[in-house]
């Protein structure tokens, strides 16, 4: 069995029964007694709840949340490549890179539709559990309703991260709700997570496989920490959030520390000694990954109407050069698109394993590095040429957004590449939350005024520093020589380290906003629109066009400021 994600086993067979559980069963011969019997068995509840995870698999698509999160920050760029005007697409990708997007962007519509779909399904399944509450034990009911409410919070969180004002609701109904202001959404998410976190399972060696790919207590507190740490960047104040524990701005950061400590003190997670263990093709054994999207790299998929949004992880296809197909015997020729912004690559020291390294041998490098630069060769070291008879040698520089060469820009390779040709898409499970993020969030929250004890001297923290320079004789000393001692760092030094550690993991955009760097062209290369309203994306045009109107003919939903 590839992954021990227990929801998958019989979901396809039972899903049609549960999706409209009450109505369907009343129409057929089963009767309410059969419903009660079924919902009293945990294995059936598990299958019911498992349906709610389906829409998460749209999150990491380049036509979705991952795409806009990465391309609008300093970590990623998708230039037009010449010859051939590859990746031109009417300027779509360039507009994301320069912050000149508008409400017609396909990704915005995709994000809205997929996250709303996931949240609505969670509400529908909660309603189903509520209708059968008397058939379930109190513990069973609390655990799985809590799981659905926390999962719903994650769907809403992604929607909220993008648009701020969203139609937040915790009930399953047809009525269109108004868009809720960001600080109110924030308060609702925090209250829901605080309520449910204690009811979720704490991961241990005994249940790790059972809870793989599911929201857990560690996930709930990690998400809470992220909400508290970013509260001010969402426009939250002690006065407008309606949280009793928040009486001053420093309370946001103290609460972030407390949530991080809940994860740390649980003993559920630890830093992997090898950075790349978290991103292997078989990365389900990572004790650092808190929440992942369970992947299937085989050629079976769903697509959405807008362009080719797919529920498959395709990072390696997006970034690798066309010639890498020959190097790695890939089923499909890579698309030679996404790469690092040159200034971002410069943040890595030469021997930091997370960077491009300093071997310069490309596919013949003797060590594993997080980014690819250098010549693309076959297995015997023979230099490969593209269809224009040009030698494929990847360089970190990018000529321009409108006229990059096919070789420009370092390529992301921290996710292990399948070199057997077995999988069409990435088989690696996509990492959404890592324990390393919890450790760094705590340190930043303390630096911003939160109460708590620093963990820089802890074994996990020191292991995190050491693995970044794993190829050196004294890795911790090498880290400090390159970047300084983290116990003395400024906030901006933490920002730089978070970039190196979490590249392309969907945290960079909010990090930049929190640090006031998102619209800074001196920090985010190529940005030309520096309007602060760009901190929120526009409500998609297609969504507003279909929005319900009130009795006076006015749309209930209105556009975000600046669009």
In this model, does residue 443 exceed pLDDT 70? yes
Average pLDDT over residues 387-397: 97
Q: What is the pLDDT of residue 342?
A: 98
Average pLDDT, the chain: 92
Q: Are strands 393-394 and 374-375 parallel, antiparallel or unpaired?
A: antiparallel
Mean pLDDT of 362-390: 96
Higher local confidence (pLDDT), 15 or 211? 211
Structure tokens at 449: 């005024």
192 and 247 belong to one structural domain: yes
Q: What pLDDT is recorded for position 25?
A: 35
Q: Tens of pLDDT along 509-526?
A: 999 999 999 999 999 999
Mean local confidence (pLDDT), 314-327: 97
Q: Is the same domain home to 212 and 320?
A: no
Q: Does one domain contain both 321 and 284? A: no
Q: Quick one: which of 497, 502, 511, 498 has its CA closest to 278?
A: 502
Domain-terminating residue out of 395, 424, 453: 424
- Please say which residue of 378, 404, 424 terminates a domain: 424
Percentage above 70 pLDDT, the chain: 93
**Res. 305: pLDDT tops 90:** no
- Which stretch of 37-46, 324-333, 452-461 has the lowest confidence by average pLDDT? 37-46
pLDDT of residue 34: 56
- Please check whether residues 244 and 322 belong to one and the same domain: no
Do 288 and 320 reside in the same domain of the chain? no
In percent, the amount of the chain with pLDDT more than 90 equals 85
Look at residue 469 and tell me if it is in a domain: no
Is the pLDDT reported for residue 12 higher than 90? Answer: no
Query: For residue 521, how many other CB atoms are within 10 A of its CB?
Result: 13
* 111 and 233 in a common domain: yes
- Any domain includes 559: no
Q: Are 253 and 229 in contact, with CB atoms under 8 Å apart? A: yes
Angle between helices 475-483 and 459-468 (to 10 degrees): 80
Return phi, psi of residue 433, to 5°: -140, 135
92 and 211 housed in the same domain:
yes
pLDDT at 35: 61
Alpha carbons 376 and 385: distance in angstroms, whole number: 8
Is 287 in the same domain as 327?
A: no
Residue 550 lies in a domain: no
Number of domains in the chain: 2
Q: Tell me the C-alpha distance between 103 and 531, whole Å.
A: 15
Residue 336 lies in a domain: yes
Domain that holds residue 33: 6-293
Does position 27 have pLDDT exceeding 60, yes or no?
no
Judgement on whether residues 407 and 354 belong to the same structural domain of the protein: yes
Any domain includes 548: no
Q: What is the model's pLDDT at position 22?
A: 36
């Amino acid at each position: 069995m590839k992954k021990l994600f227990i929801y998958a086993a019989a979901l396809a067979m039972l899903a049609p029964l549960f999706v409209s559980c009450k109505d369907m069963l009343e129409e057929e011969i089963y009767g309410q007694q059969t419903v009660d019997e079924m919902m009293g068995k945990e294995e059936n509840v598990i299958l019911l709840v498992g349906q709610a995870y389906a829409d998460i698999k749209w999150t990491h698509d380049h036509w979705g949340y991952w795409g806009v999160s990465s391309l609008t920050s300093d970590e990623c760029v998708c230039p037009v490549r010449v010859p051939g005007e590859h990746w031109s697409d009417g300027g779509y990708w360039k507009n994301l890179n320069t912050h000149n997007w508008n409400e017609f962007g396909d990704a915005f519509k995709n994000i809205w539709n997929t996250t709303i779909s996931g949240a609505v399904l969670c509400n529908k399944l909660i309603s189903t559990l509520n209708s059968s509450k008397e058939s379930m034990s109190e513990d069973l009911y609390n655990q799985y309703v809590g799981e659905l409410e926390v999962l719903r919070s994650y769907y809403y969180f992604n929607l909220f991260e993008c648009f701020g004002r969203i139609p937040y609701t915790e009930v399953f109904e047809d009525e269109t709700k108004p868009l809720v202001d960001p600080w109110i959404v924030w308060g609702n998410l925090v209250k829901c997570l605080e309520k449910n976190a204690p009811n979720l399972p704490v991961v241990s060696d005994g249940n790790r496989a059972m809870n793989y790919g599911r929201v857990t207590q560690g996930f709930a507190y990690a998400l809470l920490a992220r909400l508290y740490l970013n509260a001010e960047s969402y426009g939250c104040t002690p006065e407008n959030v309606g949280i009793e524990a928040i009486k001053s701005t420093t309370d946001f950061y103290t609460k972030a520390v407390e949530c991080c400590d809940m994860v740390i003190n649980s003993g559920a997670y630890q830093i992997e000694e090898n950075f790349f263990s978290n991103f292997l093709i078989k990365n389900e054994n990572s004790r650092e990954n808190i929440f992942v999207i369970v992947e299937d790299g085989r050629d079976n998929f769903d697509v959405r109407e807008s362009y080719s949004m797919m529920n498959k992880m395709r990072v390696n296809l997006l970034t690798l050069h066309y010639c890498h197909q020959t190097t790695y015997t890939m089923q499909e020729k890579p698309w030679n698109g996404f790469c690092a912004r040159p200034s971002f690559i410069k943040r890595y020291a030469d021997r930091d394993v997370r960077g491009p390294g300093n071997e310069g041998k490309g596919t013949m490098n003797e060590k594993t590095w997080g980014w690819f630069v250098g010549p693309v060769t076959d297995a015997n070291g023979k230099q490969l040429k593209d269809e224009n008879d040009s030698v494929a040698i990847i360089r970190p520089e990018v000529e321009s957004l409108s006229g990059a060469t096919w070789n420009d820009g370092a390529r992301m390779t921290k996710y292990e590449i399948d070199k057997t040709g077995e999988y069409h898409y990435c088989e690696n499970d996509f990492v959404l939350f890592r324990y390393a993020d919890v450790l760094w969030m705590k340190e930043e929250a303390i630096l911003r005024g939160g109460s708590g004890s620093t963990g820089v001297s802890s074994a996990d923290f020191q292991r995190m520093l050491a693995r970044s320079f794993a190829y050196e004789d004294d890795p911790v000393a090498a880290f400090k020589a390159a970047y300084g001692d983290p116990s003395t760092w400024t906030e901006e030094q933490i920002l730089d380290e978070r970039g190196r550690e979490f590249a392309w993991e969907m945290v960079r955009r909010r990090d930049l906003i929190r640090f006031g760097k998102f619209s800074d062209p001196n920090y985010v290369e190529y940005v030309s629109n520096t309007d602060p309203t760009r901190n929120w994306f526009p409500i998609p045009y297609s969504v507003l066009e279909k929005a319900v109107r009130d009795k006076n003919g006015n749309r209930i939903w209105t556009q975000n400021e600046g669009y």
